[in-house]
Amino acid sequence: MKLQKCTVDLWQDSKWKSNEHKCKQCRQWESEGEWFGRAFYCTRCCAKVAEQSHKDNYHEDAGQSSEPWLASYKEKWKHLVEMEWQEEMRVVDDRLRNWPVARLVGQGFCITDLEARKRGTFFGKAKIVFSKASLPRHHFSSGDEVIVSRGNPLDEKVAWKGEILELGMNRLAIVSDKPPWELTSGRWRLDRGANKTAYERTKSALGYVTGTKFRAPAMRKLVLNEEGTGLHKGVPAESDDDEDAWLSLDASQRAAARQAVEAPLSLIQGPPGTGKTTTTCHLIRRLVEKRGKDSRGCSILVAADSNVAVDQLLAGLIRLGVKALRIGFPSKVSQELRAHTLLAQAEEHPLNSKIEETREALSKVKDALYSGALKGKGKGLAHRDISLHVRDLQKYEQEVTDDLIANAEVICATLVGCGCDALLRSDFHTVVIDEASQATEPRCLIAFQKARAQLLMVGDQQQLPPVVLCQAAEEKGLRCSLFDRLLNSPTLFNQEISMLQVQYRMHPLIREWPSSQFYSDRLQDGLPISTFASCVMTQPFLSKSSPHHKAPIMFLDTSEGCKQTVMTFLQNFGGRTGMSNTESQNSDGSKYNLLEVELVKTVLRKLLEAGEEDVGVISPYAAQVAQIKSAMEAEKMLFQDPDARVDAARFPEVKTVDGYQGREKEVIILSCVRTQGLGFLSDRRRLNVGITRAKSLLVIIGCAELLQTDPVWRSYIHFLDRFRWTP
């Protein structure tokens, strides 16, 4: 009997050995009570042999297909996924191996000198709080995977892994399967690690969808090999004539949603501010009304690449009265939505009392066994009791999971979360992928493998593409999303898809140029101009002699020829003068510009004095973001820090452009940074995201002389000429 490698997250590198009954690793798990929630083990686990078929189906090498195109498809993407994983590991390893601790801490990838205390449990996992007098600036956020060690994790025999639950000014909490030994003694260190779970689940999905056991071969030909006709490009479905279902949507939203109801494959383009999430949620509700639960239980799976996007969809579905269940550990879910997670609802399930009783009984037996009090026959009976209790736990937990999933109307998960144990035995009539243009094609397969008959994808090819670390993999096509490939397929859509056309975010003048440049002048304004009448706009920056009226855009040109204008602006509004317009770079090669930092700080101060609270500051460069935050701290100006304060929403939010996709603010300040080369600025999609986040005021700070060397930027600078600040 052939053994297959386990891809369960915690033990994904375990080597499987076997005898006539159970493999060695499974016997160890059984004796230690670590079978909780496991749906399978190995082919020698006679207790679990009935579940093995599910594992076989999803194994990365199970059921090799004989079709040449499938073998070619698999080989291409498997190679690129491996390249990307190797690069991610190389980056983390390089940091840990070659960077001094001071640099790791300074760049925000490491926090040292932490005290630790165990603070109970969080949905069955140990909750550990790490603290010190004041945490340094860092890149950790809720849901991140971290490595816990005493010193450098590469030099230690044991390094624990955990997941960040919450952060504060001087503390952060993680959850872990087991707390480290001697937790309260000595000091601890946390490092950001690589995400192997995503890599393993992507490989597994790629193997399954290209194998002989894939349950939807027709869907596979349509999506993977572009074999299909009759997709009704942009034509509403005649069979869906219930107008009441779409009353709250505008005409373009209604047309896109109706077209997608019956089509086996649909793409919907959602430009900035056009209500993409609203449309998607109404579409899903309509699918629930038409289909409900099929004979296999829940029939709709909704996924997105980021937890934020999934939470937005979940919140929208709940508001519409849809019974949605969120898959994923609660630490990665917005606090107000945690009650809708699988684990939270499992605690309220009628069988939970039996689970708790069994856990308590198991704990007592283990305590007696490990105390050394049991000998001979008593020791053997204890091992038997542990095995029985663990099997009961397995049974109860699986029943709870199956019951909750079957009784939900919609399942929500991240793309990676679609490959978790809880969904191992589930497939769905319809799979909906939001943010589809931001995810790599292999990542989308983790959700697609669950589709039986219908795949709906929502995205915008004019906004940011997937993030790819490995340049070689990017050049070979990993950065091209599944959404983009299908959109440009001559046999499928050939760039003819439904587009949402009414935007409800931006002042018409902010909307004007991106609509012309990126959306063929098809974007319309859904809000009357009077909506913006009371907005602050450029009012704080107008002098008595200024001929201009309040406007929604202000351009501060830092070119050499505008040097005096910039100095006058700083003098008029309390900024420091005398700095040159020069870009610099930090040890990572990320760029920053101190003159632009001063301009950002000056603009911010005036806006806050004018009473504006909903302000965002964005830049293409992480180093510039860090410099702006440091300058704000020096001036005692507060800004949003994830999870640090409950009232943080009223402070300015400073992020990279990539961190702002899908977000909006009343006022956006965009710092372009560069003076010597375009770099990230040459990406037209990044420009589109940067200038479409603002509702009523967009402040752009940059060197027009450099920016105009790019044709797209040249067009935008010509548009901005009428909004230049003048004394």
3-state SS of 156-212 is CCCCEEEEEEEECCCEEEEEECCCCCCCCCCCEEEEECCCHHHHHHHHHHHHHHCEC
> Helix count (H) and strand count (E) of the chain?
22, 22
Nearest Cα to Cα of residue 349 among 404, 391, 395: 404
Alpha-carbon span 559 to 675, nearest angstrom: 8
Dihedral-angle region of residue 275 (phi above 0 means left; psi in -120 to 50 means alpha; beta otherwise): left
Alpha-carbon span 274 to 256, nearest angstrom: 12
Q: Residue range 121-128: average pLDDT?
A: 82
**Cα–Cα distances in angstroms (integers) from residue 581 to residues 2, 562, 563, 679, in the given order:** 66, 11, 9, 17
- pLDDT reported for residue 32: 43
Q: Is the pLDDT of residue 47 over 50?
A: no
- pLDDT reported for residue 411: 97
- pLDDT reported for residue 206: 95
Q: Residue range 40-52: average pLDDT?
A: 39
Q: Hey, is 123 helix, strand or coil?
A: coil
Phi, psi of 18 (to 5 degrees): -145, 160
Length of the chain equals 727
Alpha-carbon span 308 to 24, nearest angstrom: 40
Q: Hey, is 471 helix, strand or coil?
A: helix
- For residue 487, name the pLDDT band (cuts at 50, 70, 90): very high
Contact 44, 21 (CB under 8 A): yes
Nearest Cα to Cα of residue 674 among 715, 726, 619, 612: 619
For 664-692, b/e burial (b = at least 16 CB within 10 A) is bbbbbbbbbbbbeeeebbebebbbbbbbb
The label of the residue with tokens 């009539």 reads 429
Q: Kindly report the CATH number that applies to the domain delimited by 99-194.
A: 2.40.30.270
Domain residues of the chain, as ranges?
Answer: 1-57, 99-194, 204-226+248-349+402-501, 505-721
- For residue 545, name the pLDDT band (cuts at 50, 70, 90): low
Q: Is the pLDDT of residue 247 over 50?
A: yes
Structure tokens at 440: 């790599």
Kindly report the number of other CB atoms within 10 A of residue 498's CB atom. 27
- For residue 36, name the pLDDT band (cuts at 50, 70, 90): very low
Instruction: Sheet containing 665-671: give its strands across.
Output: 553-557, 694-702, 665-671, 615-619, 653-656
- pLDDT reported for residue 194: 84
Kindly report the number of other CB atoms within 10 A of residue 173's CB atom. 21
Q: What kind and span of H or E run contains 56? A: helix 52-58
Alpha-carbon span 234 to 231, nearest angstrom: 9
Q: Hey, is 48 helix, strand or coil?
A: helix
Same topology, domains 99-194 and 505-721? Answer is no
Alpha-carbon span 712 to 551, nearest angstrom: 23
**Cα–Cα distances in angstroms (integers) from residue 656 to residues 459, 471, 659, 688, in the given order:** 20, 20, 5, 14
Q: Residue range 646-670: average pLDDT?
A: 82
Q: Hey, is 699 helix, strand or coil?
A: strand
- pLDDT reported for residue 710: 97
DSSP string, 400-438: HHHHHHHH-SEEEEETGGGGSGGGTT--EEEEEEESGGG
Pick the CATH number of 204-226+248-349+402-501 from 3.40.50.300, 1.10.490.10, 3.30.360.10, 3.10.450.240: 3.40.50.300
Alpha-carbon span 86 to 471, nearest angstrom: 12
Q: Residue range 326-347: average pLDDT?
A: 88
Q: What is the torsional sign of CA 335, 442, 222, 494?
A: positive
- Reported as a single tens digit per residue, the pLDDT across 586-605 is 877 899 999 999 999 999 99
Q: Which residue has the higher pLDDT, 19 or 302?
A: 302
- For residue 62, name the pLDDT band (cuts at 50, 70, 90): low
Average pLDDT, the chain: 85
Structure tokens at 629: 């935050």
Q: Is the pLDDT of residue 191 over 60?
A: yes
Share of the chain above pLDDT 70, in %: 85
- pLDDT reported for residue 292: 65
Contact 216, 453 (CB under 8 A): yes
- For residue 65, name the pLDDT band (cuts at 50, 70, 90): low
The label of the residue with tokens 């907005």 reads 535
Q: DSSP character for 635?
A: T
Alpha-carbon span 78 to 260, nearest angstrom: 31
Alpha-carbon span 267 to 483, nearest angstrom: 7
Beta partners for residue 618, in sequence order: 655, 670
Contact 393, 416 (CB under 8 A): no
- pLDDT reported for residue 42: 43
Nearest Cα to Cα of residue 159 among 123, 192, 113, 200: 192
Beta strands in 606-657 (DSSP E): 615-619, 653-656
For 458-469, b/e burial (b = at least 16 CB within 10 A) is bbbbbbbbbebe
Q: Is the pLDDT of residue 531 over 90?
A: yes
**Cα–Cα distances in angstroms (integers) from residue 446 to residues 4, 65, 283, 413, in the given order:** 20, 18, 22, 11
- pLDDT reported for residue 362: 85
Q: Is the pLDDT of residue 7 over 70?
A: no
Amino acid at 602: T
Q: Which of 267-281, 396-410, 541-555 has the highest mean pLDDT?
A: 267-281
- Reported as a single tens digit per residue, the pLDDT across 352-375 is 899 889 888 888 888 887 777 777
Q: Is the pLDDT of residue 34 over 80?
A: no
The label of the residue with tokens 């800004």 reads 639
- pLDDT reported for residue 673: 97
Q: Residue range 71-89: average pLDDT?
A: 95
Instruction: Give the lowest-confidence range in 131-140, 680-689, 703-712.
Output: 131-140
Q: Which is the CATH superfamily of the domain at 505-721?
A: P-loop containing nucleotide triphosphate hydrolases (3.40.50.300)
Contact 326, 162 (CB under 8 A): no
